[in-house]
Amino acid sequence: MNSMNTTRKMALLSGISIVLMALVAGATMGGLFDSLFTMDYKELDHAVLQQSSAYLLGVLGWCIILICDLIASWGLYRFYMGSHKMRASVMGIMRLAYSTVLAVAIVPLVQILFNMEGGTNSMFIFEKLHQFEQTWHAGLILFGVHLLLLARLVWNSSVVLKTLSVLLFLAGTGYFISNVADLFIADYEHYRADVEMGFLLPMILGELGLAIWLLAKGGKEIIAEKRQFAS
């Protein structure tokens, strides 16, 4: 019974962390941060230095996203290890690798924060923000591979899970293709939005849909089967 309870707990832990991460990511990228990456270094002086409180909240948002990612890595691995331990291990490792890259990417954002009082210049902010963006986008290649592996684990006889699996596969493909292209195409940012538009719905609905399923049903079917067998 302990193993059954653990499976359900891991489903809840993963689901909550992914939903929280999605909400915080939406607030963070939908706020100040989304516009920062399109500004030149002169515009950044006002956007960051004159809106330091909003910038601080944005950095805190990224830290919360990182923590949620780490929790999701552990929770998803523990949830799926019972069905296929090797696949679950590789899937979890890939997400953990992405989380590690994200942690490295956040460092330049924190450096901006700690240098604000010393009169940080606009060029410094510009360089650090784009250092974050480049590192994060490179990490999204690993995240894409993670989703592709997760899609294989999610697939089963259920129509709902098959649908979620396809969405995760498409989302993983989108993240992988888009961010690999970013490494090799110099002016890729001009095309990124158009490329990712075709994968937008799977990117939004895939992992979030899985999180909702984990919260609603994840692990319950195992408990029901065990109880039926015991009776």
Q: How far apart are the first and last CA of the chain?
A: 14
CA angle at residue 23 from 17 to 24, to 5 degrees?
85
Mean of the per-residue pLDDT values of the chain: 88
DSSP state at residue 39: S
Average pLDDT rounded to a whole number, residues 59-84 = 95
Q: How confident is the model at residue 69, as a pLDDT? A: 97
Whether 226 has a pLDDT exceeding 60, the answer reads no
pTM of the model: 0.89
Secondary structure of 184-215 in HEC code, one letter for each residue = HCCCHHHCHHHHHHCCHHHHHHHHHHHHHHHH
Instruction: Provide the domain count of the chain.
Output: 1
Give pLDDT tens digits for 9-18: 999 999 999 9
Give pLDDT tens digits for 139-189: 999 999 999 999 999 998 889 999 999 999 999 999 999 999 999 998 898
Average pLDDT rounded to a whole number, residues 208-224 = 81
For tokens 């002086």, the residue is 45
Domain that holds residue 156: 2-230
* Among the listed residues 37, 28, 32, 24, the one whose alpha carbon sits nearest the alpha carbon of residue 69: 24
Phi, psi of 86 (to 5 degrees): -65, -50
